[in-house]
Chains A and B, each alone.
Chain A
Amino acid sequence: MADGSKGKSTKEQKYDRQLRLWGDHGQDALENAHVCVINATATGTELLKNLVLPGKCSIKQNIKSPDISRFQIFTPDKLLDNDPEFFHRFSLVIGVQLEESTCLRLGAVLWNAGVPFLACRTYGLVGYMRLAVREHTVIESHPDNALEDLRLDQPFTELKNHVQSYNLDNMEKKHHSHTPWIIIVAKYLEKWYNEHNFQLPKNYKEKESFRELIRNGILQNENGVPEDEENFEEAIKNVNTALNPTKVRILTLEIFDGEECKNITSQTPAFWIMARAVKEFVESEGGGNLPVRGTIPDMIADSEKFINLQNVYREKAMQDALLVAKHVESLLQSVGKVHVILLFFYHSKNAAFLRVVHCRSLADEYSVESLNKDEITSCMDSPDCEMVLYLMLRSIDRFHQQHSRYPGVYNYQVEEDIGKLKLCVNSLLQEYGLNVNVKDDYIHEFCRYGASEPHTVASFLGGCAAQEAIKIITHQFVPFNNTFIYNAMSQTSATFQL
């Protein structure tokens, strides 16, 4: 981005609102991806709109550009018959309103080719999405409410030294009142340690005492009345989270334990090399901890004290990032690759938020042996759970198989089809050995739908699907895993791992 130059390009202006979410690099990934969308139904066109808007101007404008191949709309069965490898070139294939058999065929081809597959469907007032991808890695997951990485329970040397440079007992009021709360908590923690055998305050009672300790440190005027020291109030308020023990969270440990992390080869993707490098750092220089993130929240303080404290964290983060980079380098050398991974500091900042998503194949979901029986039966303990809608979708597919049409499309069919659909439901449950009860109401309701695709539901689903597609393409934010059901009647939704 041309910082300092006059104005911004039209493209930057146009995409400004979304660049603030996924950055220029995310935008590049989006624009360079090749996505295949099958079936421009209401749902399909909504989805397309929501992909074209953030990516390129419009289909019409692309006519003269070679990039027109980004969006292809055609019938899949012929392709599956004649040229299944056609699909291998895409970063993502989205199938909309596919018949079950086509969906499964396509799913198999894509699974084997390692291409992510997103299936979407609007059926009456029900929306359905299914994501099938062997492994999807995310470096920038942008978690909503991540805790700060302050290391107050395990201060690194530079932080200790910096805290040491303060003497709270011997400060003028204006400095005392503008000392960052992080320093305050660190100082009082030292006092606490001396009286409590170097143990952190653990339970509510101890944390209360610790807060009292800090409160007693507030300066008093000549009449013994405590002064207004907002920074101390901040310290007290933040005790709870500030004293959270620094540790590597389970999601990250699972990544470290992953097969790809253990076996680095010349084919290993960048994500896993990064993960392994971070793991090695944790096990050596990190002393059991991830690289320091390097950011601190804003807090009451004068500029100098705040900036100095911020720099202590930043410099440590940079040092740690360099160490991680060294691990990356030696890993690459060990497999005979010499690439320079740019932005490693930036990656290191995300070290705590790496995520990997594994979505099961459709084949596994549909096979009697590997169906996720537990998930289905336990959800169906509440018979109105969205799971019943999933079972109904499977049932109308079965109906379609048997009768070459969907139930209740024409008014005169509705009554009769209820009985036929019920048979399909029962045969489905029997085949999979599912001992659950599907209420008649839902069978009637699905006949009522008559395979309609109401625009409001198509639009809702098109929005959801587009964003999941963007997540897959940009590798930012975490996609769902792996079945999403939307119930427009109750305006509720659920995600199942099937």
Chain B
Amino acid sequence: MADGEEPEKKRRRIEELAEKMAVDSGHGDSTGDWDGRWNHVRKFLERSGPFTHPDFEPSTESLQFLLETCKILVIGAGGLGCELLKNLALSGFRNIHVVDMDTIDVSNLNRQFLFRAKDVGRPKADVAADFVNSRIPGCSVVPHFKKIQDFDETFYKQFHIIVCGLDSIVARRWMNGMLMSLLSFDDGVLDPSSIIPLIDGGTEGFKGNARVILPGMTACIDCTLELYPPQINFPMCTIASMPRLPEHCIEYVRILLWPKEEPFGDGTALDGDNPEHIQWVFHKAQERASEFSITGVTYRLTQGVVKRIIPAVASTNAVIAAACAMEVFKIASSAYIPLNNYLVFNDVDGLYTYTFEAERKENCPACSQIAQDLRFPPSAKLQEVLEYLTENASLQMKSPAITATLEGKNKTLYLQTVASIEQRTRPNLSKTLKELGLVDGQELAVADVTTPQTVLFKLRFTT
């Protein structure tokens, strides 16, 4: 049949198939639903079963809830986001919002399938929403070409479930913190209606993980911060005077040579997406490498180091997004008990999955509602406190700003992110806590990119 077919017939047949890209548009009812469209979903909503959630009641109304009422927020429209949007839309979810601050790059096209070459440069959220809305009748994806930090509680509160396909731990922690801030307590008892479940997925090459977080109830992102592998940062002395690997040579150019030589004009920052910039770094790195008889500097490696590129393929993203979407469905429909609470996946050698319950940390800075202690002698310098906040494994803050109430007034002790304030408060770093007027039991408020709310610490003087 297929091979005996004339090439022209074959081409036409494939063209027909390809044109029918819109999911079988039929002549359904006013909702655009044709007969049998949601059959595969109905079986799980309308039939009883031995493994369903104890709260589950088969009903024909659950489908209506999914189709008309349930509101899902997808964070990220990249490798995971594209897959998530597709999975959710094909599972009956019609009220979906998607947030992504990025635009489309050529290197996305090997896996972010809602995008085509002609879309390069356009916002991911917009293109993704357009694609889904035009291909899946009835589905409404609302795009937001914004950062997650551009929204506040009023935005996030409206969603039943939030799914993240992010590529940054800082962003995850921020989202985590936002959902924690939405929790309300009645006399110390958590009000379940204030919980918005967070499904979080992450991938890297052939590895991935998916987890279900019920804020205030299960382990949160910060509870398991140590699970994330530390970012590779080479020591400065290695980069500056003792390179051994091609990566050291590249970092030398990025960190030391570029600011010194400003090859593309004063104040022009190194842009990893600009091929001319990378070319410059590549050549300089080669020069550095030959000085030390180091081999292995390539263009690909240069770009990888400068942009901190993580290898990625379509298949891993498909798997993890599918697992996440499955959990969204379970939670939205109560059809099954959701994942409790962490799935790890690796298909380098065969296929390996591991499912376990990540435990809550008793004194988690994000979800334990317990004020954190900071123990320092009064003679300790503020610098030490700053280092603790950034280096401590369970805090891992990026650029904390520390304020305290002194003599009835709110005083900024140190803030890094605004140049003028950084300059003004820098001398405080070398002063002792005593010199700064801080007392035992003092509350310190710390703000950081890793959380939308300030974290309160209690200063405890040690002897």
Contacts and interface: CB of A to CB of B under 8 A. Distances in A.
Interface in A283-318: 298-299, 301-304, 306-307, 310
5 contacts: A60-B14, A63-B15, A310-B244, A459-B318, A488-B326
B348 A142 contact: yes
Sort A-B residue pairs by CB-CB distance and give the 6 closest, nearest first.
A463-B318, A460-B322, A463-B319, A459-B322, A441-B50, A480-B350
A411 B244 contact: no
B292 to A, nearest CB: 4
A481 B349 CA distance: 10
A307 B313 contact: no
A14 B106 contact: yes
Interface in B289-339: 292-294, 298-300, 303-304, 309-319, 321-323, 325-327, 329, 336, 339
A60 B111 contact: no
Interface string A50-77: 1001100111101110001100111100
Contact of A3 (B90, B292, B299, B351): B299
B270 interface: no
Interface stretch (B37-45, B219-227, B256-264, B393-401): B37-45
A463 B312 CA distance: 13
Contacts of A63: 11, 14-15, 18
B206 interface: yes
A452 B91 CA distance: 12
B450 interface: no
A480 B90 CA distance: 29
Interface stretch (A108-116, A213-221, A442-450): A442-450
Given A50-B318, A456-B91, A14 B110 contact: yes
Nearest to A15: B110
Interface string B105-133: 01101110100010000000000000000
A241 interface: no
A490 interface: yes
**A14, A304, A462, A478 — which one has the most chain B CB atoms within 10 A of its CB?**
A14
B411 interface: no
Interface string B346-376: 1111110101000000000000000000000
A299 B348 CA distance: 27
Nearest to A86: B3
Interface string A29-63: 00000000000001000100110011001111011
Interface stretch (A4-12, A330-338, A374-382): A4-12
A42 B39 CA distance: 13
B325 A17 contact: no
A457 B326 contact: yes
Interface of A: 1, 3-4, 6-8, 10, 13-21, 42, 46, 49-50, 53-54, 57-60, 62-64, 68-69, 72-75, 78-79, 82-83, 86, 124-125, 141-144, 178, 298-299, 301-304, 306-307, 310, 411, 414, 440-442, 444-445, 448-450, 452-457, 459-460, 462-464, 466-468, 470, 477-481, 484, 486, 488-493, 495
Given A53-B111, A60-B15, A298-B244, A454 B351 contact: no
B351 A20 contact: no
B37 to A, nearest CB: 12
A452 B316 CA distance: 24
A489 to B, nearest CB: 5
A6 B355 contact: no
B49 A74 contact: no
Given A49-B113, A459-B325, A477-B206, A454 B11 contact: no
Interface in B237-277: 242-245, 275
Given A13-B106, A14-B106, A17-B313, A448 B47 contact: yes
Given A79-B1, A463-B319, A6 B244 contact: no
B50 A456 contact: no
A15 B304 CA distance: 13
Contacts of B163: none
Contact of B314 (A54, A142, A455): A54
A38 B110 CA distance: 23
B283 to A, nearest CB: 8
A467 B316 contact: yes
Contacts of A310: 244
A1 B299 contact: yes
B10 interface: yes
A455 B87 CA distance: 6
Contact of B39 (A83, A144, A452): A452
A310 B313 CA distance: 32
A490 B51 CA distance: 10
B311 A21 contact: yes
A444 B48 CA distance: 9
A82 B14 CA distance: 23
Contact of B47 (A141, A411, A454): A411
Contact of A411 (B46, B106, B321): B46
Contacts of B109: 14
A453 B40 contact: yes
Nearest to A355: B349
A414 B15 contact: no
A436 B107 CA distance: 51
Contacts of B18: 58-60, 63
A491 B339 contact: yes
Nearest to A458: B322
Interface of B: 1-3, 10-11, 14-15, 17-18, 39-41, 43-44, 46-51, 83, 86-87, 90-91, 106-107, 109-111, 113, 117, 205-206, 210, 242-245, 275, 279, 292-294, 298-300, 303-304, 309-319, 321-323, 325-327, 329, 336, 339, 343, 346-351, 353, 355
A82 B205 CA distance: 42
Contact of B275 (A3, A7, A42): A7
A114 B272 CA distance: 47
A452 B47 CA distance: 13
B50 A3 contact: no
Given A49-B113, A141-B349, A445-B50, A6 B325 contact: no
Given A50-B314, A459-B87, A14 B107 contact: yes
Contact of A454 (B40, B46, B242): B40
Given A17-B110, A50-B314, 15 more contacts: A10-B117, A16-B300, A16-B309, A19-B300, A49-B318, A60-B15, A62-B14, A69-B3, A298-B244, A310-B244, A468-B351, A490-B339, A491-B210, A491-B327, A495-B351
Contacts of A414: 47
B43 to A, nearest CB: 5
Contacts of A307: 244, 292-294
Contacts of A464: 315, 319, 347, 351
Contacts of A42: 90
Given A14-B107, A307-B293, A481-B350, A178 B242 contact: yes
A448 B46 CA distance: 10
B245 A143 contact: no
Contact of B322 (A72, A449, A463): A463
A455 to B, nearest CB: 4
B3 A1 contact: no
Contact of A480 (B1, B15, B327, B351): B351
Contacts of B113: 49, 53
Nearest to A414: B47
Contacts of A448: 43-44, 47-49
B314 A478 contact: no
Given A456-B322, A456-B325, A460-B319, A492 B355 contact: yes
Nearest to B341: A491
A20 B304 contact: yes
A463 B244 contact: no
A457 B43 CA distance: 14
Contacts of A46: 318
Contacts of B40: 452-455
B314 A16 contact: no
A125 B43 CA distance: 11
Contacts of A17: 107, 110-111, 309-313
